A and B are shown apart, each in its own frame.
Chain A
């Protein structure tokens, strides 16, 4: 993703200056954004609405063991007779939840630290920058593994919280740099001369100039959180209760579905994670092209 200043300062190329409409027109014409967005929306819809139709406990033993996909069990069953489709739909929901929570926490933290450090400067910035760098060099995965191993009862919320608390630094650094350059502009001085409070200047003068960047940061953080959660689940440090896509893969590998050739157990969750993260990233590239006039295919 490029930190192009033209995109960030928002000097859109639209001759009329109606930037929002221009962006929308380019967005609707961008195949990457459309494709990524459609896949993502379908998955999101499945995750939100699906569990109401596929009712019941996803871990309940409902059918024959090792049944391949059929009319009764769309995605087949596990070695315990659990329905893979039910697990998939519930797992998708968990995946979106952990992505939203982890990405959301990381996004808010990153913006807070980045905006305050970049706008205030001086000692505040030094301290915040130091904290950012420390968290940045922490081997996040290792910390997550250790933390997850020590926690007795692990839930989605705890997992999302930990992911959020460890992945914000790069966003904070990028936002800080942008804020630095924007805060030196005279329109910020002018807002100060107009008696504005600092936080309102940050939110209303500085932030609107980098909305596109903030949206893209959140998308990347969201995708990152999904991947980290899947990794943690896969090595068995996921939620102790419930179901998630990573956890499904963990169980399938643990109970030897690779050797037994029960592909319907591990393909759906793997494909689900790939589809979520892949569509997010493709949509992100598309968004970049929409916001950045230089990448637009005219």
Chain B
């Protein structure tokens, strides 16, 4: 459904924009219908930039992002863009800045109504809005008509999810949507995402939380400095990580009955040679190499790698 093909984003920084900053480099991935792909990476690894590019909020420097085979960057005209947003929606990281502070929170729904449901009768619209809000386990009476500063971050974030559900979405870009929620509502929202996945919704789940990544996703993409370090079926990546960065990440998860010394010893033990530079003769020299079924590993970019 959604396909990213060697997508890169270069920002110009410094005086007169002379220095290039590679936020995202040659990222290729696919989000099929009914699948959750989690993008995991540290701050500045380019995961949010990828989400923004998919939502057309940031331009793509090179490569293509295609939705149902149509290049997203080439959507010309307001009508085509509007149609795209009918199917592709996003929920952002910071719920407080997603609401215009001088209007009640209902405004995010009114915007959708004005653009997409102008012909829907008022009672019908209100009913479906309430249903959608109840679906994210909020009480419509408690949140509607309030101002953003009167609600908590978790309530606002769930309102944003409810807003996205109003549309006929097929792909949801969820940028750290769980970060503001407390443990009890977190599981509700995760289960809601699970239900939506059953209905065929594809989710691009951007997070820095490893446990969340394993809980919800079918495919895991580990990003590091804008490049794919490792990608594959979630079970596979977490069971047998090959990239030193992934191994380091997983080793940093505290576990029962294992000391940090043991974890470090395990980490030092067997890091094989960089598979990218071990296997000669691929078309693009720095592309990730397949090491298992659907399990790709990127260049280690350590001292022994030629780059």
Is B92's beta carbon under 8 Å from chain A? Answer: yes
The minimal Cβ–Cβ distance linking B265 to chain A, given in whole angstroms, is 44
- A10, A19, A186, A196: the one within 8 Å of B98 (CB): A186
User: For chain B residues 78-100, which have a beta carbon within 8 Å of chain A?
Assistant: 78, 81-82, 85-86, 89-90, 92-94, 97-100
A196/B92 in contact, CB under 8 A: no
Please, which residues of chain A bring their CB within 8 A of the CB of B81?
195
Nearest chain B residue, comparing its CB with the CB of A17: B147
Question: Which interface residue of A9, A10, A187, A209 has the most chain B CB atoms within 10 A?
Answer: A187
The digit string for A19-44, where 1 denotes a CB below 8 A from any CB of B, is 10000000000000000000000000
Cα distance A185–B108 in the bound complex, in angstroms:
14
A193/B90 in contact, CB under 8 A: yes
A196/B100 in contact, CB under 8 A: no
Please, which residues of chain A bring their CB within 8 A of the CB of B126?
none
Nearest chain A residue, comparing its CB with the CB of B164: A193
Cα distance A208–B100 in the bound complex, in angstroms:
9
A195/B115 in contact, CB under 8 A: yes
- B102, B103, B116: the one within 8 Å of A195 (CB): B116
Is B57's beta carbon under 8 Å from chain A? Answer: yes
User: For chain B residues 38-71, which have a beta carbon within 8 Å of chain A?
Assistant: 55, 57
Is B152's beta carbon under 8 Å from chain A? Answer: no
Is A241's beta carbon under 8 Å from chain B? Answer: no
A189/B92 in contact, CB under 8 A: yes
The minimal Cβ–Cβ distance linking A293 to chain B, given in whole angstroms, is 13
Is A220's beta carbon under 8 Å from chain B? Answer: no
Is A70's beta carbon under 8 Å from chain B? Answer: no
Is B150's beta carbon under 8 Å from chain A? Answer: yes
User: For chain A residues 54-112, which have a beta carbon within 8 Å of chain B?
Assistant: none
Nearest chain B residue, comparing its CB with the CB of A11: B101
Is A190's beta carbon under 8 Å from chain B? Answer: yes
Nearest chain B residue, comparing its CB with the CB of A209: B102
Main secondary structure of the interface of A (DSSP, over half): helix
User: For chain B residues 93-126, which have a beta carbon within 8 Å of chain A?
Assistant: 93-94, 97-103, 108, 111-112, 114-116
Nearest chain B residue, comparing its CB with the CB of A193: B85
A195/B89 in contact, CB under 8 A: no
Please, which residues of chain A bring their CB within 8 A of the CB of B92?
186, 189-190
Please, which residues of chain A bring their CB within 8 A of the CB of B112?
194
Cα distance A205–B82 in the bound complex, in angstroms:
18
Nearest chain B residue, comparing its CB with the CB of A185: B97
Please, which residues of chain A bring their CB within 8 A of the CB of B149?
11, 17
Please, which residues of chain A bring their CB within 8 A of the CB of B116?
194-195
How many positions in chain A have a CB within 8 Å of any CB in the partner chain? Answer: 20
Nearest chain A residue, comparing its CB with the CB of B92: A186
Nearest chain B residue, comparing its CB with the CB of A205: B100
Question: Which interface residue of B78, B93, B94, B102 has the most chain A CB atoms within 10 A?
Answer: B102
Cα distance A193–B81 in the bound complex, in angstroms:
9
B97/A196 in contact, CB under 8 A: no
Please, which residues of chain A bring their CB within 8 A of the CB of B146?
17
A10/B111 in contact, CB under 8 A: no
Is A192's beta carbon under 8 Å from chain B? Answer: yes
Please, which residues of chain B bring their CB within 8 A of the CB of A208?
100, 102-103
The digit string for A189-205, where 1 denotes a CB below 8 A from any CB of B, is 11111111100000001
A187/B97 in contact, CB under 8 A: yes
A194/B115 in contact, CB under 8 A: yes
- A185, A190, A195: the one within 8 Å of B82 (CB): A195
Cα distance A205–B114 in the bound complex, in angstroms:
14
A190/B108 in contact, CB under 8 A: yes
- A189, A196, A205: the one within 8 Å of B57 (CB): A189
Cα distance A193–B167 in the bound complex, in angstroms:
11
The minimal Cβ–Cβ distance linking B77 to chain A, given in whole angstroms, is 11
Please, which residues of chain A bring their CB within 8 A of the CB of B102?
9-10, 19, 208-209
User: For chain B residues 109-158, which have a beta carbon within 8 Å of chain A?
Assistant: 111-112, 114-116, 146-147, 149-150
Cα distance A186–B89 in the bound complex, in angstroms:
14
The minimal Cβ–Cβ distance linking A14 to chain B, given in whole angstroms, is 10
Cα distance A193–B100 in the bound complex, in angstroms:
14
Cα distance A195–B98 in the bound complex, in angstroms:
15
Question: Which interface residue of A10, A17, A186, A190 has the most chain B CB atoms within 10 A?
Answer: A190
Cα distance A19–B100 in the bound complex, in angstroms:
14
Nearest chain A residue, comparing its CB with the CB of B160: A190
Cα distance A187–B160 in the bound complex, in angstroms:
11
Cα distance A178–B146 in the bound complex, in angstroms:
26
A195/B85 in contact, CB under 8 A: yes
A191/B111 in contact, CB under 8 A: yes
Cα distance A17–B99 in the bound complex, in angstroms:
14
Please, which residues of chain B bring their CB within 8 A of the CB of A9?
101-102
- B57, B78, B108: the one within 8 Å of A197 (CB): B78
The minimal Cβ–Cβ distance linking B140 to chain A, given in whole angstroms, is 18
A209/B101 in contact, CB under 8 A: yes
The minimal Cβ–Cβ distance linking B157 to chain A, given in whole angstroms, is 12
Cα distance A195–B78 in the bound complex, in angstroms:
8
Cα distance A127–B102 in the bound complex, in angstroms:
32
A194/B85 in contact, CB under 8 A: yes
Other A-B pairs beyond A193-B57, A195-B116, 6, CB < 8 Å: A9-B101, A187-B98, A193-B89, A195-B78, A209-B100, A209-B101
14 CB-based A-B contacts, threshold 8 Å: A9-B102, A186-B94, A189-B57, A189-B98, A193-B85, A194-B111, A195-B78, A195-B82, A195-B116, A196-B111, A208-B100, A208-B102, A208-B103, A209-B100
Top 7 nearest A-B pairs by Cβ distance? A195-B82, A194-B111, A195-B115, A17-B147, A10-B102, A186-B97, A186-B98
